[in-house]
Structure 1
């Protein structure tokens, strides 16, 4: 373990049905100069035991058992222990194709990159069938901060910059800037914003290796979150602050920020109309009314250019600031989502 090139970090919690495949996908990698730091985040099932069994057979695997503190805490524990030149983050219910680490390492070394960003697959399961969608952009190498900042909207737009598992990070850069995952809902986004804030050398690859399994993710994200709207407002502020700090205000960037905000507000309305929402009908409508009259709505609607028919239709009652129609429309869509995931995926395709 004296010549560790990549530190792979994977938090584990309640994934006994999936974690074996995630681990096997790393052990099958053509790249071998890594350490695999698995953090058992106080899981109550057999996930920790499964990881220990793999560690007993491969010295590159180290399992850290800790009290439950959430994925950010688990990742941060491993970051402090990491010895590699690069860091890769894996989710324990997904998997990676076998050439991923080698290809990402080669790209980073060839271009002395502080960040490598690759495509990925969204695998959505419907019973015994599944659909696989490749998310990617064209190859690009950035050697200065200015050019990356001016084109970064493209990568936010294709959902390439939000998650950690399609990226290879430089550990020395993380430590130089004191970067850790914050203890917050959707911690990936603020971590990545902090990481890209000062990067100068970035490699973007059209190749896709990582398989994000949507079936399990849908069940997790379907839960009602009372603070979702506040969190989305906070995210919007982070995005605005980032581009303001960068001094980037070109039209495509502003359109992306506006569309991103309005699309997520639609998601916040769906959160309120969910069958799992604990609010009364009166409280739900009051929440929707509050969202519709947020000054950000008028400002973003003037700039945003939604791509899909689904989103254009969803925005009609929002433009009218009609609380009842907005509630009714969202309630119907939420009903479809909760009972027919496949149909819902088709409705919002191309968003």
Structure 2
């Protein structure tokens, strides 16, 4: 019966045959049993869909939908339209969750009549097949009593990367449905979806407990990747953040500092992207791209407000402050080298920035 389903767990699946079994079993092993598990095979070319079907045959709580490839947003949205649970939880198919996650988050949501529960999580960055470095992210337990209180303190959650992803959250289904909230069909759809969720949210609970294990495996493919649209995407994201805080009418110093620091850190990432070994631009084109980035007036404005928290981030920002294209170019090359040759060091530096 629909009223017996406490949580609808939603998971898109694509090219994860090595990992999807562990993801499914981590949900099956939850201490909360009253869930439905909606798995969407997004036209995967490997055996992932078949594996999911095999689990569904043995567990009536699992439903598998097969569709043509359309991306994770379309897969999640298909499941949202079919979900019957009071709450929704979004899982990635190559990660796994601790067994008490759903029960603990459900209890908090019910106790505080929350529209959104936010938990901590683990990032496990693999630098070979068996070794990895773990980063733990969380904020102290807190129940935000008012919408204003949440808005004025959201910078703390942004700083701990807790407001970017869907898989460390439990969402009240009625809140999503009443506001027509769906995942936008875009690259990195998680972030704009979460911004839409928190834009008008009123009842938010944060738990310091960590449950979700985000597997930053496949490090070689991640670190070698070049995206020709990364800089425009980062500019778009910064506009979203400015729009959000403008809508919230929040301009306190900690919030504005966070927005500026977040932007300027991602500018450094854009410099690395331009100098990536797989960048399709020639040397002249790379220098022109760097010049465009560091001479953007937004960069100068952000540098006035941002307060980098590590010595090496302060050091990396010097060439940007000086608007020195050559130094920025070689800085990007160094970052790219560390990112590809020493994933462990890169993960630690990124976590401590």
Aligned pair 1:235/2:237, yes or no? yes
1:148 to 135, 147, 150: 150
1:310–1:348: 8 Å Cα contact kept in structure 2?
no
* SS of equivalent to 2:233: helix
Indicate which of 176, 192, 195 corresponds to 1:174. 176
Match of 2:187?
185
Q: How far did residue 345 of structure 1 move?
A: 2.1
- Partner Cα separation in structure 2 for residue 130 and residue 300 of structure 1: 34
Matched, 1:35 2:36: yes
1:250 to 246, 249, 252: 252
The answer to whether the Cα contact below 8 Å between 2:127 and 2:219 also exists between their aligned partners in 1 is: no
Mark the CA change 1:217 to 1:72 in structure 2 (over 3 Å): closer, same or farther. farther
Segments ≥4 residues shifted beyond 6 Å: none
> Which residue in the other structure is 1:219 paired with?
221
SS of 2:10 mapped into structure 1: strand
Task: Give, in angstroms, the shift of residue 335 of structure 1.
Answer: 1.1
Q: Which residue of 2 aligns with 1:201?
A: 203
Q: 1:258·1:300 contact (CA, 8 Å) conserved in 2?
A: yes
Structure 2 CA distance, aligned partners of 1:67 and 1:30? 33
Equivalent residue number for residue 138 of structure 2: 136
- Superposition pairs for residues 1-351 of structure 1, below 5 Å? 1-2=1-2, 3-127=4-128, 128-216=130-218, 219-220=221-222, 222-351=224-353
User: What's the secondary structure of 2:81's corresponding residue?
Assistant: helix
Shift of 1:291: 0.4
The Cα shift of 1:206 comes to 0.2
Listed one character per residue, the Cα deviations across residues 125-157 of structure 1 (whole Å, up to 9, x for unaligned) are: 233222222101100001211000000000001
* Alpha-carbon distance in structure 2 between the residues aligned to 1:133 and 1:164: 18
Answer yes or no: is the 8 Å Cα contact 2:273–2:332 preserved in 1: no
* Structure 1 residues 161-214: Cα deviation after superposition (integer angstroms, max 9, x where no partner): 000000000111111110000011111111001001111110000000000011
Distance (whole Å) between structure 2 residues aligned to residue 200 and residue 249 of structure 1: 19
Aligned CA distance change for structure 1 residues 84 and 221 (closer, same or farther; 3 Å): farther
Q: C-alpha separation between the residues in 2 aligned to 1:174 and 1:52?
A: 28
Aligned-pair Cα RMSD in Å: 1.1
CA distance in structure 2 between the partners assigned to 1:42 and 1:346 by the alignment: 36
> In structure 1, what is the Cα distance between the partners aligned to 2:198 and 2:335?
35
Structure 2's unaligned 5+ residue stretches are: none
Whole-angstrom CA distance in 2 between matches of 1:222 and 1:115: 35
Q: Distance in 2 between matches of 1:218 and 1:87?
A: 33
Give the direction of change, closer, same or farther, for the CA distance of 1:43–1:220 in structure 2 (3 Å limit). farther
Offset, 1:34 = 0.6
- Greater shift, 280-289 or 338-347, is seen at 338-347
Per-residue CA deviation, residues 17-55 of structure 1 (Å, 9 max, x unaligned), is: 000000000000000111100000000000000000000
> Runs of 5+ in structure 1 lacking a partner?
none
- 2:167 is paired with a residue whose SS is coil
Give the whole-Å Cα distance in 1 for the aligned partners of 2:94 and 2:57. Answer: 21
Taking structure 1 as the reference length, the TM-score comes to 0.98
SS state of the match for residue 81, structure 1? coil
- Number of corresponding residues: 351
Helix, strand or coil at the partner of 2:18: coil
TM-score after normalising by structure 2: 0.97
- CA–CA separation in structure 2 for the residues paired with 1:319 and 1:54: 55
Aligned-residue offset at 1:123:
1.2
